[in-house]
């Protein structure tokens, strides 16, 4: 499936063909219980919460909502033994939700050599590619790389972050679109999801993120044409600045 930017997604066949590539690092972004039950051959699991949030998130998510700090992220990259030669592939069994989050986090910290397995676990199983079970925290082909040896340069790209004050200024901006990607009940306030306040940002448009996923095609992303149609129906055009939450 072709997109204007083909650098974000990778097909299962291409990952399968690279399984013996010593620079390939496959990250299972689901919870560890699912990973232990079964995962793509050679894949490793995340040693932190799959939202890649700051310390304290798991115990108190409301008070610790932000992405992890630069130092925390550097420790994560070291533990995964990622270096500048690594070819990183992220996947999940949750409609590409967590793998997309992981992809965004790496890009936020300046790491570009990462792709999302289109369709994730479902697409891999559909093609009957090799799987295994149990834990595999250290990728065997890169065991000679010590955590302190990573040559990755971590730099935060704050252009990918919108702060509260910035968002307030966008509410009445005709050149901006605020996109609420939660489900309709969260958007309307029918479901608080544990938040202190309900509803949505004034003027925000609601398109649930699942609209962009094709459940009838192993949870692959919809085609570019289908995605463009969804956006156009909601008057979201390339000339607008889009801020999501």
Listing DSSP states for the chain in one string gives: ---S-TTSEE-HHHHHHTTT-TTEEEEE-S-HHHHHH-EETT-EE-SS-TT-BPTTTTT-TTT--SBPPHHHHHHHHHHTT--TT-EEEEE-SSTTHHHHHHHHHHHHTT---EEEETTHHHHHHHTT--EE-S---S-GGGTTS-GGG--------GGG---HHHHHHHTT-TTEEEEE-S-HHHHHTS--TT-SS-S--TT-EE--GGGGEEGGGTTEEPPHHHHHHHHHHTT--TTSEEEE-
Mind listing the pLDDT tens digit for each residue in 180-193?
999 999 999 999 99
The fold for domain 9-149 equals Oxidized Rhodanese; domain 1 (3.40.250)
Mind listing the pLDDT tens digit for each residue in 84-139?
999 999 999 999 999 999 999 999 999 999 999 999 999 999 999 999 998 865 44
Q: What is the pTM of this model?
A: 0.90
Phi, psi of 83 (to 5 degrees): -135, -175
**pLDDT for the residue 142:** 39
Mean pLDDT of 22-45: 95
**pLDDT for the residue 149:** 59
Mind listing the pLDDT tens digit for each residue in 201-229?
999 999 999 999 999 999 999 999 999 99
**pLDDT for the residue 137:** 57
**pLDDT for the residue 141:** 38
Taking the domains of the chain in order of start, what are their residue ranges?
9-149, 162-244
pLDDT at 64 over 80: no
Residue 26 to residue 28: CA distance in whole angstroms: 7
Residue 142 vs residue 65, higher pLDDT:
65
Mind listing the pLDDT tens digit for each residue in 137-164?
544 433 443 445 578 889 999 999 999 9
The fold for domain 162-244 equals Oxidized Rhodanese; domain 1 (3.40.250)
Same fold? 9-149, 162-244: yes
Residue 113 to residue 64: CA distance in whole angstroms: 28
Residue 66 to residue 74: CA distance in whole angstroms: 16
* For the chain, percent of residues with pLDDT exceeding 90: 80
**pLDDT for the residue 102:** 97
């Amino acid at each position: 499936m072709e997109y204007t930017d083909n650098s974000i997604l990778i097909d299962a066949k291409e990952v399968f063909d690279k399984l013996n590539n010593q620079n390939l690092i496959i990250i299972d972004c689901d919870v560890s219980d699912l990973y232990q039950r079964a995962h793509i051959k050679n894949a490793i699991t995340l040693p932190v919460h799959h939202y890649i949030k700051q310390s304290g998130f798991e115990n108190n998510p409301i008070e610790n909502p932000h992405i992890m700090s630069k130092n925390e992220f550097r420790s994560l990259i070291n533990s995964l033994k990622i270096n500048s030669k690594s070819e990183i592939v992220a996947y999940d069994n949750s409609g590409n939700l967590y793998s997309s989050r992981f992809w965004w986090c790496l890009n936020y910290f300046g790491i570009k050599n990462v792709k999302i397995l289109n369709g994730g676990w479902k697409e891999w199983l559909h093609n009957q590619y090799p799987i295994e079970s149990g834990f595999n925290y250290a990728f065997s082909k890169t065991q000679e790389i010590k955590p302190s040896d990573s040559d990755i340069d971590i730099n935060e790209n704050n252009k990918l972050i919108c702060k509260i004050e910035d968002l307030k200024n966008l509410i009445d901006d005709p050149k901006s679109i605020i996109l609420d990607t939660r489900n309709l009940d969260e958007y309307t306030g029918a479901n608080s999801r544990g938040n202190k306040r309900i509803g949505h940002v004034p003027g925000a448009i609601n398109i649930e993120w699942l609209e962009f996923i094709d459940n009838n095609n192993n949870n692959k992303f919809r085609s570019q044409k289908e995605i463009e149609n969804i956006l156009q129906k909601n008057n979201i055009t390339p000339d607008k600045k889009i801020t999501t939450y």
